[in-house]
Amino acid sequence: MAKSGVYEPMSEVELLVGAPVRNSQGEELGRVYKVLMDESTGQISNVVLSHHAFFGLWRKRFSIPWDVFHFDETNNALILEVEKEFLERVPSYKEKV
């Protein structure tokens, strides 16, 4: 809601947060945690993926370039062509504070 009290619909970028991310085998790799924008172009630069571990706990985040994803309209999910095991081996994303 805007400060004026008038409802403003969510942007398409905001709608990505929480979206599932799967690989082409249909395995869920995680969910979109955050969308990073290139300030100079106003375009999406990276997606921060939250990768879940055992029992549904979110334990690792990865910043992945936007251009390696494609969108599966049928399943309403982002597709990332990696194997689930790959995410276990790569370093996680650290936010700047």
Structure confidence by residue, pLDDT tens digits, 6-29: 555 556 778 889 999 999 999 889
Fold (topology level) of 12-89: SH3 type barrels. (2.30.30)
Q: Are 11 and 2 in contact (CB under 8 A)?
A: no
Assessment of whether the complete model's pTM goes beyond 0.95? no
Domain chopping of the chain, boundaries: 12-89
pLDDT at 2: 43
